[in-house]
Structure 1
């Protein structure tokens, strides 16, 4: 009898990590971040940008045009500039949002708001989030930046159901000396504070895109998204790990570039994504259940299931 109990106990001990791993289901989903939606036969969970809100001399907005109806339920996502939240009363912004989401010919249970708020816009922005929750009775989520967790006592915690930590765009893209403005884990680690006391469940948003920043005299001129390393095989000299120098004046992606112009190539590298997932998981082991990748058009860049498996 004792031997039987021993073996049963051993089986339970060995099986526990497997049961825990199987129970810990982490979903991969994607942002769709274009002004036109025309995807066919998509089975993935999507966070679709449906509205861009900005402010110049007045409140301005761009609504996403739906040429196709999304196959599955999705999360309408709304981008609002910080300048808008500084200059426009939240009631006017909410009125615009409610009007625009009514035009969506689908049912949804959640609205996500993307705004990098500041101390001067915090009160107005948080009022907007509370009003949306009250008036829609939907799940409300909001994007969070790393600095807004490290310094949450100043920046505040948005009154939403959960947050999405935007684990990219960590350094100044216009600074010639930036290593990789898309994803730099050495910079991210400087903000790994207060996760244990941050009172908001978090999901993780990671980048899949690549880009090149065009410099002249070390001053930024433009950004080319979606470029790959092979684009620099001709007409360029590689002068450092990710810096390329133009050999002679020519056209590049439809733009005329000059001899000696410099390009910094930035990518969402597989090993950097692995490290980011490991770090975030160690900080949020109790609530980590979804990764939202930016963006859908790059979904086949890596085997994301394998990436997740190798990272945890």
Structure 2
């Protein structure tokens, strides 16, 4: 038996969470087209006959963010590089940015094997350009391996799992066989509500919101939950709630439907929106909301 930890890192919006979800075979991390959706280190587990791989999805390492939240997210991603067996550096096929270069500079200091994942190859119309692209990327660092794939299309995932399993140390499983996520239901539902927020709200407002679970009770096949969406200003609250509460109901209904489909249980969700001034730039508030230190 072999088992080990794999950190998945890269700049925002390269598809790290989509990759972890595809590898695990179910939604582990929330996803959206907006960068910096992932705020925590989130674990998903792949069980195979020969062993177990625990993937650690991380916030996108980014430049320029000045709020405390930005620093906490970067710290979480950097912290996930320690005490793992392999690091996966995910980039977007056909696009290399200053943020990619900054991530690679950090990875160059590691003794841990670093594998390169070139994601979104389905977007490359002329496949003849793929080999020169891979050669160019491979020349940037002595990667342990390079795997081109499409997470969203679930293309070429098995070669990546083979490369990773070959590098997992001998040892017992880190998680029981029935467990595929490394967090509890309350955290999972809070993240799901936040995903619906991010997808329904435009421009910068999603980054001024977070979700807290006030109570989570299970009564047979019913989950009874009270949750709060926190914003930074009174004007933002009006946008989240919407006219006559319509936006808030839409967000809650979308979260409820997906939760019931995922879990096979009914959900009674009571959702509020409250204001805490400048929470994203206040370390105490971030810690109270469970952001940072994970």
TM-score, with length taken from structure 2: 0.36
Indicate the structure whose relative CO is greater, using CA pairs within 8 Å and at least 6 residues apart.
2
TM-score, with length taken from structure 1: 0.35
- Give the structure with the larger helix fraction: 2
- Bigger Rg, structure 1 or 2: 1
- Give the structure with the larger strand fraction: 1
